[in-house]
Each structure stands twice: as structure tokens, then as C-alpha cells.
Amino acid sequence: MSEFVTRFGSLDDYEKGHIEIINDKPKHYCFSNVFEVASGAKPYEKIAVAKNFEYVIEAIRAEGKSNWMAAAHDEFCVVMDGDVTIEFVKLDQPESVAASDKEGTVSVSGEPQGKRMGTIRLKRGHQALLPKGAAYRFDSAKPSVMIQQTLQGDLTVQKWAEICYR
């Protein structure tokens, strides 16, 4: 019987994953290493690494303080490496920031108008809901890695050719 070992990666120490294709074409699959993608990303660039129906998973390098963002639908993020703090503001007029028919994450211009909801501090493996109707921004004192599930939108960066064929 084969022995499998689980090894947790980090931005500083990862091994690129791989898949074994059985009787199929590699172009039908996308396997990417979120640490490798994040290592070459700009802070808070939202790079699509997986797609499942209408949902997209984005790899994000968290470093410093992000701009404010929001979405017309719930999103969630998982910290894969490092520590990330999320600040939340309950928007006074969410529709004026993220129209209900707008998919994906949108940038909030300036400071969001509304009541402060508090903060969440996440470490590796912790997950947070990014609720619709709220603006949020990330803060990380040192480079960290997150994945975020959302709908594909204007801020989603697609680098499939670079990711799939490295």
C-alpha cells in the first residue's frame, strides 16, 4: 500500500503540485499552486486559479493594507499562510457601491460610508465570510497567502496560460 504524506506549504517553502492525467487531455485541467501564483503576484492582485460553475477561486498575496472592496453577493476567504486582519464596514447604501446585478469583487472608492462592524484576525487555515452589503479591507504585516471564493468580476485576473503551462 502506498504511503501518502501531507506537507503544508508556505510562501517561503512550497513544492509545486502535479496531477497525473489518465486517458485524457491536459488542456482540460488546471492545477496550480497558490503559493507559486502568490509568490509572483502584486499585493492584493486577485488571480483566478480554479473555476467551478459560476464560482472562481482566486489566489491573493496579502501584503500591507488593501484598498476597500465589496461585492453584491457573499464571498469567503481562507488564509493559507501568514496572518491577515480584515476590517468591515456595514454600508449605508450597498447598492450604490456594488449593484445587485454586478458579479465579483468591486473596488470601493474612498472611505466606505457606514457603521464599523469590527475586525477578524485570521491565521493559517482560518476562514472568514465576506458578507454582501459590507465593505472590507485586508491588512497583513508580512507577505501572506489567501484564497478567495467569489464570482468572476472586473478585479479577477486571468493568467491561465501562465499558470497551466509553467
Q: Please report the sign of the dihedral spanned by the C-alpha atoms of residue 148, residue 153, residue 156, residue 159.
A: positive
Domain annotation covers residue 7? no
HSE at residue 34, side-chain half, CA atoms within 13 A, is 22
| pTM of the predicted structure, to 2 decimals | 0.84
Read off the pLDDT of residues 99-126 as tens digits, 9 standing for 90 and up.
999 999 999 999 999 999 999 999 999 9
Q: Give the number of domains in the chain.
A: 1
pLDDT, one tens digit per residue, over 2-48 is 666 666 778 888 777 665 555 555 444 444 578 889 999 999 999 99
Q: 56 lies in a domain?
A: yes
The residue to which cell 501584503 is assigned: 63
Pairwise CA distance, residues 114 & 135, whole Å: 9
SS (H, E, C) 10-28: CCCCCCCCCCCCCCCCHHH
Q: Which domain holds residue 94?
A: 38-164
Does the residue 24 lie in any domain?
no
48 DSSP β-pair partners: 58
Residue 4 lies in a domain: no
